[in-house]
Every structure is written in structure tokens, then in C-alpha cells.
Amino acid sequence: MIRFLCFAFLFCSFLSAQAPFHGKIESNTSWSGTIVLDGDILVEKEAVLFIAPGTQVQILPNTDRGNLGSDREKTEIIIMGKIIAKGSAQAPIVFTASSPTPAPADWQGITLKNRGEVSQFSYCTVEYAYEALSCYGSSPEIEHSTFQHNYYAGVSTELKSAARLLSCVLRDNQFAGLICELGARPVVEQCQIFNNVNGVIVFDRSRPDLGQRYAREGESRGENQIYGNQEANILNRSDASIFAQNNQWKTNSREEIRKTIVDRRNNPSYGDVLFQPHQRNTRGAGRAPQPVANGGEGPSDPLLTPQVSRPSGEGQPLSAPQQTAPPQPNPAEWRVDNYRTSLDEVEADRVKNEAGIPEPPVPQQPLAENFLDQGGRAYDFLAQPEYPAEYLAQGKEGKVTFLVVVARDGTVAAYQEIESDGPLFAEAAEKALRQMRYRPGTYRGQAVRFSFYETFEFKLQ
């Protein structure tokens, strides 16, 4: 009879209760008020669990009367259908241990296994779990939420999860704030990741997007704050390179930032972490972290065009290519992480121009493609790389990415390999790149050099 009553409450369309319960949810259900769990909750496929603003979900520590999840001793919320947990700044939703002295791993956490559904978390706090939020092949939208005081991870993305985290806080987790494995590709923007043992850990060819200088729609602009994590701010154990540009690290020193990152420089089997350019740190020490609201700050530049720095002759443009082949810059001399830009300063220039101040001259350094009159690159001749025979026989797929500078006449002036999935792929892509011809770019009607990332993908039929 007790079990029957428990399920009767569980399946109702609107639920506000304090008596502990557990079980399966097979139809749309709403929670509000105080919800106490003493065992696993399983939201079946086709069902949606709605959680109202201000709801407190309290989980009895080290208790599981449901036995529906992976841990027989800790309560887990398993989502096979969909969960919509949308709180507000004034009425957040809290998932926490029901204890006067809560501790990490008092309960298992929330596990999303709904690959075809997009769950949503907004203004939520998930704390004192083993793994607060596990996205197993699921790609939820998470914003303005906090994951803290968890034993293993704040958020774990697995099995090609493309979760999106915006303006979230991942702090005080005992292994990592964010874990990416099994090909996960989460997008992380304007988040604060601090005071964890590790900030971000990347495994198994996962490629989190922590920020890109020239982010396109759906990509991260960065603006994260990643700092103060005990062992590493970012540990990239994947063999793929990842972007972590346009972020704050609580230091303006490139060398100090580098010390907090573990990647190919520490182990040749790891991928790189491309963290430059970074936002200048202008916040006073000891202040509480606040979400980053606008673009990166950087050195003043009249038109905020990308700059190329060299150990000698700084500020001089790259030399023209020889007739035999385009030049291949030494990575030690020309690096993507020496580029600079600031959208705030672009807006300032616009305001000054409208006030009658003469416009600055057309830049001599390469301009980011999104500032071109035509809005981006266009091709006059698009060369296709030849699939390497050895990789074709092996059934190997991959891709190669270059940072490219195009001359005023549309030819390739210079390039740098950013990442590749194999030397033969890189060789084939480089050969094709040398043959490419681009539509000449203009800025305010005048021809300019411009830069962008060009990616070649090798896929089997």
C-alpha cells in the first residue's frame, strides 16, 4: 500500500510534496515546493519532468530505495525523456543533499540519456552529488546554473554530447569542474571554472569549444574565467587540439597561463590547447567572480586588425611569397596566439567617426574576414585535396586546419598548420591550399589582406 501511494503521487500532473518518494515517471509531471527523494527517479521516454522556479529537490544521503540506476546505494535522477528545470535569479531551483552537514557524494547526481531531446537547466544549483550532471550522449542547454561541492565532476559530457553551457559556475568539485570524454564536444561560454582540483579535463578525442577568436554561429566566443584550479586549469589528454581563446585566467602573463595547462607541450601524445589571445585581466584581486559580459580587452589598435608579431622587425608585414611556393612561417615566429582584436574598440571607432573624427587609414596588417565589406571569404578557385592512398586503404578519416592569410590579389600569402589528424592528411591539404584562389577582400572599398581558419575534411563515402 505504501508503494502504491508513492506512485500515485509520482504520476500526478502537478506534484508538490514533502514525503520522501522514488520510482518511475511515465507521463508529464511537474514538481514545485519541496521535493524529498529517498531513491532513484526514472523519467521514461516520451515523458517530461517540469520543475517550477524556487523548487527545492532534497535527496536523502546514501539512500536508494528505487534501485533503478547504476549505484545501489545512492539516489540518481535518470532522464530517458526530458527535463525542463527553469528557475529564475529570484527563485532558483536547488538539487541538494537533505542533511544538516552535507558532503560530496551524498547522492549520485542527474544523468541525461535522452539523445533526441534537448533538456533545459536555467538558474539551477546542483551540489553534494557524486557527479552533478552527466550528459551521456545528450546535449542539454544549461545557463546561469551552478555546480559545486561534487565528488567527481560538476558536469560530465560523454558519447558525443554537445551540451551548451552559458554563464554557469563550476566550482569546488573534487576531481574536475568539466569532464569531456568519448568524443564529447560541449560549447562553453561566459562560464566561471575555479577552485576545482582540475578545471577542465579532456579525454578520448573529445573537443570542447571553450572559446574561438573568430567564433561563428553556434560556436563559443569564450569570455570564460578559468583560474585557481589546483592541478590544472585545462588538462587535454585527448590527441586533438582544442580552442580556449578569448578567456580570462586571472593573470595577463602568457607564461603563467601556460603553467596551468597540460597539453602537447607536456606530453607529445596529447593535443594542443590554443589559448591565445586571452582577455586582459582588469578585475581587482580578491573580488568575487562575476560573469563576463562583453568582449576581450587588449592593446589599442586603430582598426583592431589581427597583428603579426615577430621576434625582430615587429609590426612589419609578412614578406611576399616566392614564385616557387608560398612561404611557410616558422611557428616560433608567427603564431595564432599573437593575434589581437577587441570588438569594444571597433564600436568606439564607429562612434568617433560618426562624431566627425576622420577615419583611420586602411590597415596594412591582415584583417579578420568578418570585417570585410563582403562579410567573409569567397572562392575563385576551390581546390580539393587528394585522399591519401594509405589512409584510404586503412579506412581512416580526419581533418586539417590552417590559419591562412590571403594577399590583396586573392592568392595565399602565408599559412600555419593549426591541427591535423595525420601527416599525410596535412601534406594533401597543404598541397590543395597552395592552389586555392580567393576573391580579393575589401575594407571600405579598398583592397586588404585578410585572415581566417581553413579546414579540410577527409571523409569516406
Q: Which residues of the chain are modeled with pLDDT < 50? A: 1-17, 283-360
Taking every pair of C-alpha atoms in the chain, what is the biggest distance, in angstroms?
Answer: 87
Residue with cell 529564475: 88
* Contact indicator for 49, 111 with CB cutoff of 8 Å: no
What is the Cα–Cα distance from 37 to 388, expressed in whole angstroms?
57
Helix (H, G, I), strand (E, B) or coil at 350: helix
Predicted local confidence at residue 68, as pLDDT: 82
- What phi, psi does 234 have (nearest 5°)? -135, 130
Beta strand pairing call for 141-143 and 164-166: parallel
Predicted local confidence at residue 358, as pLDDT: 42
Closest to 93 in 3D by CA, of 64, 67, 119, 56: 56
* Contact indicator for 210, 201 with CB cutoff of 8 Å: no
* Whole-structure pTM value: 0.60
Helix (H, G, I), strand (E, B) or coil at 390: helix
Residue with cell 539512500: 63
Helix (H, G, I), strand (E, B) or coil at 345: helix
* Contact indicator for 363, 448 with CB cutoff of 8 Å: yes
Predicted local confidence at residue 365, as pLDDT: 63
What is the Cα–Cα distance from 274 to 147, expressed in whole angstroms?
26
Paired residues of 207 in beta bridges: none
Dump pLDDT digits (tens) for 90-110: 999 999 999 999 999 999 999
Residue with cell 546514501: 62
* Contact indicator for 345, 301 with CB cutoff of 8 Å: yes
Residue with cell 580556449: 244
Other C-beta atoms closer than 10 Å to the C-beta of 75 total 29
Closest to 258 in 3D by CA, of 247, 273, 243: 273
For the record, the C-alpha cell of 102 comes out as 552535507
* Contact indicator for 144, 165 with CB cutoff of 8 Å: no
Residue type, 59: I
What is the Cα–Cα distance from 385 to 64, expressed in whole angstroms?
56
What is the Cα–Cα distance from 243 to 456, expressed in whole angstroms?
17
* Contact indicator for 244, 262 with CB cutoff of 8 Å: no
Predicted local confidence at residue 370, as pLDDT: 65
What is the Cα–Cα distance from 35 to 32, expressed in whole angstroms?
7
Full DSSP string of 263-296: STTT-TTSPPEE--S-----SPTTPPP----SPP
Helix (H, G, I), strand (E, B) or coil at 5: helix
What is the Cα–Cα distance from 96 to 179, expressed in whole angstroms?
21
From residue 444, alpha-carbon distances to 303, 344, 374 in Å are: 12, 19, 10
DSSP 369: G
Predicted local confidence at residue 279, as pLDDT: 78
Closest to 159 in 3D by CA, of 135, 124, 125: 135
For the record, the C-alpha cell of 410 comes out as 586573392
Predicted local confidence at residue 362, as pLDDT: 52
Closest to 289 in 3D by CA, of 242, 257, 247: 247
